[in-house]
């Protein structure tokens, strides 16, 4: 993949903090693939494995390394094409940490204290409320602004991060003149937020203590179908999308993503049928949709040398792009050139 200044740039990524769920796939990665395939001739695509963000929560080092490589393989198995997109690991590009510190100094305490994710993670990790957990939005802003990203594909829960990134970039530009492109969020209408199968008012999470609450990308078909059969719904028996039917709405969203059917088509398909038939159909559609991804992932992980070599090459490409922005920032804030 060759980076062109003449093209607009799209950037996104995920943390390698555990086995990805269908929420990660349907809410993010699948949309990246569609964007890549539709627009690679007019846009630069950069997709990053955010391993530096992962350590705000304690990690087992060997597991973090393994999951980082696995996440790269998942991206590719889902359809991220290294000929069309620059796929790289965050910690392989030192400029992320370097710009992150600079932006720390242009991010207000009040802005950080209002971040929803900080409040959520602090509650879950009361014994490790570290500074990185509090200031990570500045690093996330650096991830985006380093590459002058025009568009950032995000789910509903990530929109707040784009908003603070825009605030930081606008503040810096007001002080030092035009330095950063102000990024825009890109959100799809369907599947942006896939919810827990057991608590359908909450986002599906790979860290959920209830194994029946989420479907992992590499669950076996029998396990996938079983989880959907146990999904929480309501006392009604009609498959329809409506307020107050959070469980059914979530299942309809998942089924729509895997089949391409509209909610109206789904309602007609299951008219006169019960929830049992619908849950089974959703489970089978999900398992069938994941099967080719699982097969391609196994093929890629069998050749780790190829993956590691590609990442070394891509780290150099990403570093070259990032260095241009970092040099401009360093000069503007008054750092002495080496």
Structure tokens that stand for 143 in this block: 């991830």
Structure tokens that stand for 227 in this block: 């989880």
Catalytic residue among 84, 203, 227, 279: 203
Measured distance between the N- and C-terminal CA atoms of the chain, rounded to whole angstroms: 30
Whether the Cβ atoms of residue 133 and residue 118 lie closer than 8 Å to each other: yes
CB crowding 1-28: b at 16 or more within 10 Å, else e: beeeeebebbbbbbbbbbebbbbbbbbb
Whether the Cβ atoms of residue 287 and residue 111 lie closer than 8 Å to each other: no
How are beta strands 8-14 and 43-49 bridged, if at all?
A: parallel
Catalytic residue among 121, 227, 245, 279: 121
Q: Closest Cα to residue 92, out of 114, 68, 116, 71?
A: 68
The number of residues in the chain equals: 338
Whether the Cβ atoms of residue 166 and residue 182 lie closer than 8 Å to each other: yes
What are residue 13's phi and psi, to 5 degrees? 180, 175
Active site residue 206: yes
Distance CA 36, CA 38 (A): 6
Catalytic residue among 8, 193, 206, 261: 206
Only one residue has tokens 């080496």, namely 338
Active site residue 203: yes
Active site residue 220: no
Catalytically active residues are 121, 203, 206
């Amino acid at each position: 993949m060759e980076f062109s200044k003449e093209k607009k740039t799209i950037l996104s990524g995920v943390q390698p903090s555990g086995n990805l769920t269908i929420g990660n796939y349907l809410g993010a990665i699948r949309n990246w693939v569609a964007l890549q395939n539709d627009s690679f001739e007019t846009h630069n695509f950069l997709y990053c494995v955010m391993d530096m963000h992962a350590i705000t929560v304690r990690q087992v080092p060997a597991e973090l390394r393994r999951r980082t490589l696995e996440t790269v393989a998942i991206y590719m198995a889902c359809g991220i094409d290294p000929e069309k997109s620059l796929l790289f690991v965050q910690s392989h590009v030192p400029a992320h940490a370097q710009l992150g510190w600079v932006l720390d100094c242009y991010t207000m305490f009040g802005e950080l204290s209002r971040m929803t994710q900080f409040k959520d993670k602090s509650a879950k990790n009361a014994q490790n409320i570290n500074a990185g957990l509090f200031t990570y939005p500045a690093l996330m802003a650096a991830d985006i602004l380093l590459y002058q990203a025009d568009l950032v594909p995000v789910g509903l829960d990530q929109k707040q991060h784009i908003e603070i990134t825009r605030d930081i970039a606008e503040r810096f530009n007001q002080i030092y003149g035009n330095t950063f492109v102000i990024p825009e969020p890109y959100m799809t209408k369907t599947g942006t937020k896939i919810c827990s199968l057991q608590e359908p008012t909450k986002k599906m999470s790979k860290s959920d203590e209830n194994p029946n609450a989420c479907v992992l990308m590499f669950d076996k078909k029998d396990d996938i179908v079983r989880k959907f059969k146990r999904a929480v719904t309501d006392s009604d028996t009609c498959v329809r999308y409506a307020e107050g039917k959070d469980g059914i709405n979530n299942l309809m969203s998942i089924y729509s993503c895997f089949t391409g059917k509209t909610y109206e088509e789904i309602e007609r398909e299951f008219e006169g049928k019960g929830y049992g038939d619908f849950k089974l159909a959703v489970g089978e559609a999900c398992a069938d949709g994941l099967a080719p991804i699982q097969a391609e992932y196994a093929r890629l992980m069998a050749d780790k040398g190829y993956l590691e070599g590609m990442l070394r090459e891509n780290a150099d490409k990403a570093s070259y792009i990032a260095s241009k922005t970092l040099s401009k920032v360093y000069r503007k804030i008054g750092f002495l050139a080496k």
